Each structure stands twice: as structure tokens, then as C-alpha cells.
Amino acid sequence: MKLHKEGRTVIIIAFLALLALAFISWYIPVQFIFKVTIISPLFILFLLIIWFFRVPGRKCDQIENLVYAPADGKIVVIEKTEEKEYFKDERIQISIFMSPLNVHQNVYPVGGTVSYIKYHKGNYLVAWHPKSSTENERCTIVIRKDDGTEILVKQIAGAVARRICTYSKVNDIAPAGRELGFIKFGSRVDVFLPVNAKITCKVGQKSVGRLTVLAEL
């Protein structure tokens, strides 16, 4: 396991702040137990920040007809819906809610080539709100497989998240499981599949990025 590059500055600032507060509290003329009471919550917060930016070492099997989870979290939506931005037709939407304790790295769910990408400014509704997919800050990425099938992935900011990081560019080669971006502090990822896709996951299921199979194409 390693730490994500998006967390380096945050972790350094948090460590320096913890060190400064610990130094100051150590010289406060109070009993030792009170010093520990001051420092302990700050130390726990620092550990949580490190935990948030972790990147586990996982490998994707990259089987051609499978759609893998693009993120860790909980599957909260599986439904047919009209995708209005790119396809403008009916698709199967699978939504994964990412809590602040989940790994927040996002990966390509299928292998192919990036054919479309667009960032949208927006609101910060809670990530499980039905309108968050169309009204929140978000970034849409479409991957075209070698057989022409296209899969849409949408990174969506939540009530806490205030920054979506997307590394994809149009015409990028996108192997299944390769990193496409990162969302800071609580968010959601939607995947839009063809209506004839065979869904292999269920609502309420825990998803593990790169490993959990969402569907077969």
C-alpha cells in the first residue's frame, strides 16, 4: 500500500500542525493526562488523513467482457435511466457511494480509449441525492472499447468533497483498472452501461475498485 500523490501536501501540513500543537501543549503547565487528552485526538485525526489517501496495491484481471468497479464503496443505485449528456438514450446506471473511509482513487472499469471528457461546475448536494448526478460538480469520462461499445463514468462531488481530480484526456489509452482520477473526502461514481448488459452486482453490495465485477457485456 502507498499514499496517493493528491494527499502529499495535506499530509505534510497536517503533520507540521500536529507537531507544533504537540510542542506547545507539552509546555503548558498542566498535568500530563491533560496533555495527552489534547494531543490524542489530533494524532487520531492525522492517522485518519493518512488512511484516507491510501492506495492499496491491487491488480485488475482485465477480462475483455467484464465491467469492473471504478471505485471502492457501496452500490446504492442499479436502475434504467435516460442518460442525457452523451448517449441521450436509455442506459443502466450503477452508482457507488464512497464514504470518507473508502479508498478514493478512481479507475477505468473497462479497457479501451477515452473518447469524451467534460468537467461540469455544480452544487454540492449529498452524494446519494438523486439529483447529484446531474446538478453537482462532476466530470464525465467515456471509454470506447475495441468493439465500439462505450461506457460512461461520472465522478460526482458530494456535500463534503470540494475537488474532483481527473487525469484522463481524449484519445488516452485506458486499460481496465488504470487510475483515471481521485475525489477528495466523500463522493460518488456513476457508471452507465448498455441496456443489454448482464448485471452481476446488487444494491447494498460493497464494491472494491479493480476487483468487483459490476456487469458482463
Catalytically active residues, by annotation: 187
Q: What is the pLDDT of residues 175-185, one digit of tens each?
A: 999 999 998 77
Rounded-to-integer distance, Cα 139 and Cα 119, Å: 4
- Using a 10 angstrom Cβ sphere, with 0-12 exposed, 13-18 middle and 19 or more buried, the burial of residue 210 is buried
Q: What pLDDT band is residue 186 in, cutting at 50, 70 and 90?
A: low
Distances in whole angstroms, Cα of residue 5 to Cα of each of 12, 47, 177, 193, 209: 12, 17, 18, 30, 18
Q: What is the pLDDT of residues 202-211, one digit of tens each?
A: 999 999 999 9
Structure confidence at residue 79 (pLDDT): 96
Structure confidence at residue 46 (pLDDT): 84
Q: What is the pLDDT of residues 7-24, one digit of tens each?
A: 788 888 888 887 887 777
Please, which residues have CB within 8 angstroms of residue 66's CB and are 6 or more apart in sequence? Answer: 110, 176, 213, 215, 216, 217
Rounded-to-integer distance, Cα 194 and Cα 175, Å: 19
What's the whole-number average pLDDT of the chain? 87
